[in-house]
Amino acid sequence: MIVWLNGAFGAGKTTTAHELLDLLPGSTLYDPEVLGPGLRSMLPPDRAEAEDVRELRSWRRLLADGAAALLAEVPGPLITPVSLLRQEYRDEIFGALAARRIPVCHVLLHCAPAELRTRIDGRACWAGAGTGRPPGWEVAQLPAYQAALPWLSADAHTVRTDGLGPGEVAVLVAAAVRAGAGALDIVQTPEPSAETLAAGVLLFDEHGRVLLVDPTYKPGWEFPGGVVERGEPPARAGMREVAEELGIELAAVPRLLLVDWEQPQPPGFGGLRLLFDGGRLSASRAAELVLPAGELRGWRFATESEAAGLLPPVRHRRLTWALRARERGTTLNLEAGVPVGA
């Protein structure tokens, strides 16, 4: 297990983590910040200059790989004091940990803004030392923390630290961990070991907007669907996924809109991505949608332009061509998001 201590920069996560080592038997401090300097030394200058190491996808992947490697050597839990204020990074990292069957206990250390600012001011003499960050960086991140509080509070178990020392906070965190507070139920989706065939289903409302879902285990929004199982017809796989993810049973086999060959990009293997036309959902049926909590946190209908701000670029290109195919009553063959053939 990994106990993730989240919170604003300067909230006392690291000092609390050290106190926790004496309270949780077998625990080990796992501070992914130490991965940053070595990674920066190997990256090209234009990538290594990122102000925040969290912006580096390689760092986020190394974090999960490092946790798995460390847990092969120590009993755990791992205590990880890292601020994680962007939900898409949370999804990517926690999803990668779940794929490696590493449970996550997410704990938010929170105190009133005035006290937090006092703590940061008291650290001003060494803030940013050894991190490559300029003095005052922690204060500049406070608006980002306030903006993240709504989803952080919903996702993590909150421990109020106002007026408490690190030892007292650690006692509260240890009690919460033992009680199972903050334990996240994230679907364990193993990373592919070969090319995959995946089927997505587009569902529409009466205004022609497409239904998108928000996974808890990877960044960005997605279409309902998933990997086709061995021996399973792709269209039936899409129907199964719609039933499992949304609680909706499609009455008829959906029509194929496009096939897109996704180019392998290490560490990914790529494969074939199919999109089907699942037809229109009435408002009453949409109101009956039931999401699996460990897999999806939300859904919405979106126009094509709205989807551009929700879907990763590769999925949005796929959606654009699927909508064109639907308008024309045809099926398109794509390679890496570009139509080929007649």
Structure pTM?
A: 0.89
Phi and psi dihedrals of 204, rounded to 5?
A: -125, 150
Rounded Cα gap, residues 64 and 323, in angstroms:
36
Average pLDDT over residues 290-308: 95
Report whether pLDDT(127) > 80. no
pLDDT at 193: 85
pLDDT at 130: 47
Closest residue by Cα to residue 65 from 39, 44, 41, 83: 39
Average pLDDT over residues 64-88: 96
Rounded Cα gap, residues 143 and 104, in angstroms:
26
pLDDT at 133: 61
Neighbour tally for 54: CB within 10 Å: 20
pLDDT at 123: 64
Neighbour tally for 214: CB within 10 Å: 18
Report whether pLDDT(122) > 80. no
Rounded Cα gap, residues 177 and 125, in angstroms:
33
Residue with tokens 């999806």: 296
Which amino acid type is present at position 117? R
Residue 211's pLDDT band, with cuts at 50, 70 and 90, is very high
Q: In whole numbers, what is the pLDDT of the chain averaged over residues?
A: 92
Query: What are residue 2's DSSP bridge partners?
Result: 78, 104
Phi and psi dihedrals of 317, rounded to 5?
A: -60, -40
pLDDT at 328: 96
Closest residue by Cα to residue 28 from 76, 64, 73, 66: 76
What single DSSP character describes residue 272?
E
Tell me the pLDDT tens digit for each residue of 161-187.
998 999 999 999 999 999 999 999 999
Measured at the alpha carbon of residue 232, what is the angle toward residues 310 and 312, in degrees to the nearest 5? Answer: 15
Report whether pLDDT(222) > 80. yes
pLDDT at 241: 97
